[in-house]
Amino acid sequence: MTLDLFGHDATGDTPNPPHADALGPGAFVLRGFARSRLETLQADIDGVVAQAPLRHWLTPGGKRMSVAMTNCGEVGWISDRVGYRYGTHDPLSKQRWPAMPASFAELAHNAAEATGYRDFRPDACLINRYTLDARLTLHQDRDERELGAPIVSVSLGLPAIFLWGGLQRGDRTRRVRLEPGDVVVWGGPSRLAYHGIASVEGSFDAQAVRYNLTFRQAR
């Protein structure tokens, strides 16, 4: 997918790219952007998980998250009773997080560029696995030092209902259906927008899950 980005700046303040739905200023859903890469992405997810298994983090309050998570890249996102933070090493293995696959980094860079965010170089990728009963409550991604860089989020597997809110938790939310291969990019004025996953859609098949790749420039 090739888009004409001439004249676009690095704040996401661009006309809607083709096949994109605007969520807000600087925030877009790129429909089917990663569809042709799903098989490669899934193979690379499996490779990362073989080195750093999925696990259910605890919140600082001690609650077990319903979404299973792991990381790849220079740093990984961690949650436990100490708090939310990024670290270079997997707390389970004491080893550095697996390197980010080239397919991940390329997709994240291209999706960011397609929405006007040039030179996005993520150093962290959070891999989330959702079963049918998993949810992700409204939250902001604000643990990163570099809040000027966008967030890039890629959907694989089962469809899901994505919640998109405002800059305050109590702001009205939109419900947006995400299909496999859809990519959400947000930054600029929408960088700290609240968002979450209301539900995952599919049959009650133990093998049917949704994966999400969330790319961030954490440091």
* 213 annotated as ligand-binding: yes
* 216 annotated as ligand-binding: yes
* 86 annotated as ligand-binding: yes
* 141 annotated as ligand-binding: yes
Give the Å distances, CA to CA, from 80 to 60, 137, 148: 5, 17, 26
Two tokens at 94? Answer: 């004491």
Distance CA 217, CA 148 (A): 9
What is the CB-side half-sphere exposure of residue 167 using CA atoms within 13 A?
Answer: 9
Residue 2: partners with Cβ closer than 8 Å, 6 or more residues away: none
* 215 annotated as ligand-binding: yes
Distance CA 49, CA 202 (A): 23
End-to-end CA distance of the chain: 29
Two tokens at 215? Answer: 């790319």
* 169 annotated as ligand-binding: yes
* 55 annotated as ligand-binding: no
Distance CA 203, CA 29 (A): 25
* 96 annotated as ligand-binding: no
* 130 annotated as ligand-binding: yes
* 129 annotated as ligand-binding: yes
* 139 annotated as ligand-binding: yes
The answer to whether residues 155 and 183 touch, using CB atoms and an 8 Å cutoff, is yes
* 210 annotated as ligand-binding: yes
Report the run of H or E that residue 109 belongs to, with start and end: helix 102-114
* 143 annotated as ligand-binding: yes
The answer to whether residues 127 and 69 touch, using CB atoms and an 8 Å cutoff, is yes
Binding residue ranges for 2-oxoglutarate: 128-130, 210-216
Binding residue ranges for substrate: 77, 84-86, 143, 169
Binding residue ranges: 77, 84-86, 128-130, 139, 141, 143, 169, 195, 210-216
Binding residue ranges for Fe cation: 139, 141, 195
